[in-house]
Structure formats: structure tokens, C-alpha cells
Structure 1
Amino acid sequence: MRLHRNLCFAVIDGLTQIFNDHQYADKVIQQLLKRDKRWGSRDRSFVAETTYDIVRWKRLYAEIAEVKEPFDRDNLWRMFAVWATLKGLKLPDWKYFENTPTRKIKGRFDEWSKIRAFRESIPDWLDTMGETELGEALWTKEIAALNTQADVILRVNTLKTSKDQLQSELFDLDIETEFLKDYPNALKLKERTNVFTTEAFKNGYFEVQDASSQLVAEFLNVKPGMRVVDACAGAGGKTLHIAALMENKGQIIALDIYANKLQELKRRARRNGAHNIETRHIDSTKVIKKLYDKADRVLIDAPCSGLGVLRRNPDAKWKLEPQFLDNLKQTQQDLLQQYSRMVNVGGQLVYATCSVLPSENQNQIEAFLKSESGAPFSLIKDQTLLAHTSGFDGFYMALLERKP
């Protein structure tokens, strides 16, 4: 593969925004891909995947390149040279790559790869915490899996089409997909491509949603005609899945503290043909109190560290800090204490996170059940989804029932 100057410059510009301006990688890459209308799919793929790659391996590449933050542009070019060398690419005769020590790079890679925190390119504190919570063997496998590139998984919108019909329609566009065993509404792309430009997406026939994430709505045991509360709905990925499972019958109340996310949910619901969703902005405690004892099902898709989705958000590990994680755990318990009160007698609650840490998952459920608010609830079942065993994102789900 030959390196093209304008594509490489785009990557360097993107890394500057992500590392030095602390912008979110997905937003930066979204903007980068609009830079040049002449770029084809291969060009856009190079920019996106190379940027993500260097973000993912920031610590390792910086150590090999012998550069430290904050990175100036020369530092970033050195890290780019490390990436290209390790990929086996020939460096062009550009001034940015003068005196690049190719053999030294490979030797330093072998040297630093012996240490897990460098090999997996994560902060020391996170490596220590992961080993403490999961054990050395399990953490070593899991963090390695979380550093692989995520597959593109579609969730078929059964309000508008079927899995067979969608697969056939995409096949006609030269987009090949395959079924996934035990994931009833999932299609996996055989090759990465931009599915958002297809008429099938514009018509609301599918959403892009990881296979593990698709299991959360299934875990909630919803049925048509129920009143369901999605208490941390965000932009509504799981809300839309719940609507499909309920066949547009009954009521879904989508709550969130961010009004702009609920606006996005409304837009997506229109495209999906989901008509049983009502959005409510949590601008005071009254919004929650009005729903006390009113819901057959409540989903708390809690804010979390996001460690389970590092494959698609590799910059998250550089934004996390121990104090922030402690605050998150307090928020998670607060949500369980408050939002559980919306469940009616005999109703059920699902607590879910996209984290693999027991302190955010099982420990939170145990603490809740021992509390006064948790006394009326019993744990029906829980499930931890690990990336190294499933091949998909790391998730946790617990199903609780309010006893009569």
C-alpha cells in the first residue's frame, strides 16, 4: 500500500484534535471524512482506521517513538512512522520520515510488548484495577480482545422488514452479511462498508448496534401492551429495539437528562416507524416521582466506564480517571435507588452497563439488594458478556423483579 500525502495529513490533523484538544475521536473522524469529496471509500477507510489505530496504541507508539505528551506535529509524525513501520509499509521520501530508525522501532516493539500495560496500551492504574477485579489471566485475555477492531453489526428493524428481506436487499447492493447464532435480529457485515448511505438505512430498515447491546432489550422480557420506561435512553438505540419487540403496542417512556439526545431519539423513531415512544426530559425529580409504581418494565442502561466498548471507542481509556470512575459508581447506585421506584408490584427491572468491571456490575446489584430500596426486589438472573469469549462488546445485565 502506498501512502498518500493528503490522507496522512488528515490523520495527523485528527490526532492533534484528539490528543491535544481532547475531542472525541468519533466526532473528529466524522468531520475528517467530509474534508475532500474526491476521496473514495478506500481513502475514507484509511483515514478512519489509521486514526483509530494510533489512538488505540497511543502509549505503546509514543514509547517506541520516544515522544511525550503534549504531542507537537513532529511527535505525531514519529508515531505515524511507528504505525507504518509495524504495518510493514514503505515510508515515502518525505521530510517527516527522515532518519526513521526502522530496525530500532521493531526492536523496541518487541521489548515493550513484554509488559502488558504497554502491549495493550493502557494507563497503569487501569491495568492494575483490571487485574485486581478480574484476575490476571482473565484481564489479560479481555483487554487484548478489547483492543481489536469491532465488527459492524446491524439490528434488523422488525417493524419494517425481516432479517431475510434485509439481507437480500443489501446483497443486491453488493453488501454481504451473515446471520449470528443466538442473536435473533442481528446481521454481521462480512466486509466493512458505509451502510448509512443506503436506502435501506434511510427507510429505517436497520440500525447499527453491536450484538451484545442487542441482548439488553431481549433481557427486559417486554410484551406488547406493557408500559416500559427506558430511564437512561440517550439517543435511543435500545429504546428503538424495545419498540420493535413490543410491535408498536403499549407505551415506552424514554427519559434522559440531555434534551438534545431525546431530540435525536425522536428523529430516529420517525425513521424506524416506532410510534409508541414518548420522550420526557428529566429536568427535575418530579419527572421520576410521577412514574413511581407505574411501570411494568424499567431499563437502567447506566452511565459507566465504557471499558466494554473500547473496541469502538479507543479514546475512552485516555479520558478515564480514577476519581471519575468513583463518581460514576456513586451515580450508578443512585440511579438504582431512585429509578427502581418506578417499577410496579410484579414488574421487572434491568440494570445494564457496557463495562466488564464487577465493581460497576455485580457489586452494584449486591449493594442495591441489601439496601432499603432494594428490599422488595429479587435477582432473577444476571449475565456478563466478555469480549474475548463472545467476540463482541463487553456488557453486563441483571434482571430484577419487584416481589408482591
Structure 2
Amino acid sequence: MRLHRNLVFAVIDALNMIFNEGEYADKVIEKVLRYDKRWGARDRGFIAETTYDIVRWKRLYTEIAEAHEPYTRPHLFRLFTVWCVLRGIRIPDWKQLEDTPERRIKGRFDELSKIRKFRESIPDWMDELGEKSLGDKRWTKEIAALNQQADVILRTNILKIQKEQLQAFLAKDEIETETLEGYPDALRLKERKNVFTTEAFKDGLFEVQDASSQLVAPFLEVKPGQRVIDACAGAGGKTLHLASQMENKGQLIALDIYESKLKKLKIRARRNGIHNFETRAIDSTKVIKKLHGSADRLLLDAPCSGLGVLRRNPDSKWKLEPEFIDRIMGVQQDILQNYSKMLKKGGQLVYATCSILPQENTEQVKKFLASEAGQEFEFVKEKNVYASESGFDGFYMALLKKNN
């Protein structure tokens, strides 16, 4: 691989914004890719993937490079040289990259790779929490899997097209895909490509959604004609999936505390051809009270630590703090206690997170069922999805039924 100065400098700029200015990696990549309109797909791919790679292995690389916060530009170039050496990429004769100690980098890598928190590049507290929560064996496997680059997975919008037709449609744009056993609407890209510029995307024939996330809507067992509430809809990936499973029949209500996310969902819903749904911002407790006892099905895709989706959000390893997990567990229980009141007798709810921690998952459900608000509910089933077993994101979902 031949390195180009302008692309490498773009990576250094991106790392500076992420590490020193605290910006989110996905937003930074969007910003940096606008630097030069002449960059082709390969150039843009190099910038995005190299940046994400160095973010993913930040702790390991900083330890090898002996670079510390706040990172100066020479420090960031040192991280880049570590990335090059460990990938066998020839380092060009630039003054920013001179005197690279290749042998020392490789030796230090071998040494640090024997220690899990360095090998998997995670903070001490996260390593301790993962081992305590999941056990040494499960955590070791899981964090290794969560450090792999995520596949690009599409979910077919079956309101508009069947999966096989979508495959053929994308193949015309030289986007090759394969089906995934056990995921009826999913297609995996054989090679990473920008699918958002395709006519198929603009026409709402698919959404980008991880395979594990695609398991949540079917777990709720919705039927056409029901009243379904997605109470923590966000930008609405699962809302859209529920709508397609409802065949556009019945009533689908998307709730969220952020009006801005619901606005984005409306745009996505229009593109998807969905017309059985409405959005309501939770700007007071009245919004929930008005819906008490009205839903046949209720999805509580609760805010969480996001430890199951580190593959696609590697910078969250450095943004997440242990205090946040304690705080978000309080929010999760509040959601179960208060939002569950929207369900009719005989109705079903799914509590879901993109976390792998039992204290955010099974233990929250048990706590709810043991509470006064949970007395009317019975546990039906649960599913723990581990990246080390599925190859996709870590997820949790539990199905509860409200007694008649």
C-alpha cells in the first residue's frame, strides 16, 4: 500500500478531533470526508477505516508509542506509524514519520498482547466490570469479538420488495450481497461500499441495520391491525421494522424524548413508504398517561451502556464512564416501571438493550417482575445475543406478557 500525504493528514486531523476535542467519530469522519470532493471511494475508505482502526486500538497504540493526552500532532503521527508497522505497511520518507523504531514497536506489541486490557485496548474499569459480570472466559471471548470490524448488514423493506429482488437490484450497482441463515430480511455486503448513494436506498428498498438488531421486532410478535408503541424509538430502525411486520396496517406510535430524532424518523418513514404511524415527543408525563392501557404491543428499546455495539462505535470505549452505567440502570428501571403501564391486559412487551451486561438485562427484568408494577406481568422468554457466538452485535431482549 502506497501512502498519500493528503489522506494521512486527514486521518491525523480526524484523530485530533476525536481524541483531543471529544467529538464523536462518525461525525468527525463525515466532516473530514468533505475536505476534498475529488477523493474516490478508495481514498474515503482509507480515511474512515484507518481512523476507526486507530480509535479502536487507542490504548494499545498509545502504550506502544508512549503518547499521552493531550495528544500533540507528533504524538498522533506516532500512533499512525504504530498502525503502519503492525500492518506491514512501508513507512514513507516523510519528516513526520522519520526515525520509526520498527523493531521496538513489534517487541512492545508482543509483550503487551499477553495482557487482555492492552491486547483488547480497553480501560481498566471496563475490563474489571466485564470479567466480574460475565466471567473471565466469556468476557475474554466477547471483548475480542467486539473489537472486530462490523459487517455492513441491510434489512430488506418487505413493504416494497422481496429479498431476492433486492439482491438482484443491488448487483446491477456492483454491490454483491449474501443471505444470512436465521435472519429472514437480512443481506450482508460481501465488500464494504457506500450503499446510501444507490437508487435502491433512495427508493426505500432497504435500511442499514445490524443482524442482531433485526431480531428485536420479530421478538415482539406484532400482528397487522394492532396498536403498537415503540416507546424509545430514537431514529427509528426498529420502528421501521415493526411497520413492515404490521404490513402498514393498524397503528404504530413512535415515542422519544428527543424531537430531533423523531423528525429524522419521519423522513425515513416516508422513504420506506410507511403510513400507519405517528410520532409523539415525550415532553411531559401526560404523553405516557394518555396512552395507559392502550397498546397491544410495546417495545422498550431502553438506553444502555452500548457495550454490545463497540464494533461500530469504538470511540465509546473512551467516552463511556462507570458512573454512566450506574445512572442508566436507574433510567432503565424507571422506563420499565412507568412505560409498561401503556400496555393493555393480554398485551406483550419486549424490553431490549444493545448491552451484554446482565445487570442491564436479566437482572433489570427480574427486579421489575418483583416490583409492584411488575405483579401483573409474566415472563415469557429472553434471548442473550453475544458477538462471540453470532458474529454480530451484542444484544438482549426479554418478552413479557400482561395478565388478563
Q: TM-score range by the shorter chain?
A: over 0.9
Partner of 2:9: 9
Partner of 1:191: 191
TM-score using structure 1 length: 1.00
Cα distance in 2 for partners of 1:68, 1:295 equals 52
Does residue 227 (structure 1) correspond to residue 227 (structure 2)? The answer is yes
Cα distance in 2 for partners of 1:258, 1:392 equals 28
* 1:120-269 → structure 2 map (5 Å cutoff): 120-269=120-269
Cα distance in 2 for partners of 1:274, 1:113 equals 49
One-letter amino acid of the counterpart of residue 378, structure 1:
E
Cα distance in 2 for partners of 1:102, 1:184 equals 47
Q: What is the Cα deviation at residue 96 of structure 1?
A: 1.0
Q: What is the Cα deviation at residue 98 of structure 1?
A: 1.4
Cα distance in 1 for partners of 2:61, 2:247 equals 49
Partner of 1:388: 388
One-letter amino acid of the counterpart of residue 350, structure 1:
V
Helix, strand or coil at the partner of 2:174: coil
Partner of 2:91: 91
* 1:59-74 → structure 2 map (5 Å cutoff): 59-74=59-74
Cα distance in 1 for partners of 2:89, 2:62 equals 19
Partner of 1:23: 23
Does residue 301 (structure 1) correspond to residue 327 (structure 2)? The answer is no
Cα distance in 2 for partners of 1:324, 1:70 equals 23
Cα distance in 2 for partners of 1:83, 1:378 equals 51
TM-score using structure 2 length: 1.00
Cα distance in 2 for partners of 1:329, 1:11 equals 36
Cα distance in 1 for partners of 2:371, 2:16 equals 47
One-letter amino acid of the counterpart of residue 181, structure 1:
E
Q: Deviations over 1:116-146 (max 9, x none)?
A: 0000000000000000010000000000000
One-letter amino acid of the counterpart of residue 68, structure 1:
H
Partner of 1:283: 283
Partner of 2:369: 369
Cα distance in 2 for partners of 1:248, 1:145 equals 37
Does residue 313 (structure 1) correspond to residue 298 (structure 2)? The answer is no
One-letter amino acid of the counterpart of residue 272, structure 1:
N
Q: Which runs of 5+ in 1 are unaligned?
A: none
One-letter amino acid of the counterpart of residue 240, structure 1:
L
One-letter amino acid of the counterpart of residue 27, structure 2:
K
Cα distance in 2 for partners of 1:70, 1:350 equals 43
The number of aligned residues is 404
Q: What is the Cα deviation at residue 70 of structure 1?
A: 1.2
One-letter amino acid of the counterpart of residue 82, structure 1:
V
Partner of 1:48: 48
Q: What is the Cα deviation at residue 33 of structure 1?
A: 1.5
Cα distance in 1 for partners of 2:35, 2:346 equals 54
Helix, strand or coil at the partner of 1:248: coil
Cα distance in 1 for partners of 2:145, 2:79 equals 23
Q: What is the Cα deviation at residue 336 of structure 1?
A: 0.4
Q: Percent identity?
A: 69
Q: Deviations over 1:134-177 (max 9, x none)?
A: 00000000000000000000000011111011000011111110
Helix, strand or coil at the partner of 2:348: strand
Cα distance in 1 for partners of 2:214, 2:258 equals 23
One-letter amino acid of the counterpart of residue 321, structure 2:
E
Q: Deviations over 1:209-263 (max 9, x none)?
A: 0000000001010000000000000111000000000000000100000000000
Cα distance in 1 for partners of 2:50, 2:310 equals 16
Does residue 347 (structure 1) correspond to residue 332 (structure 2)? The answer is no
Q: Deviations over 1:172-207 (max 9, x none)?
A: 111110110010100000000000000000000000
CA RMSD in angstroms, aligned pairs only:
0.5
Q: Which runs of 5+ in 2 are unaligned?
A: none
Partner of 1:110: 110
Q: What is the Cα deviation at residue 392 of structure 1?
A: 0.3
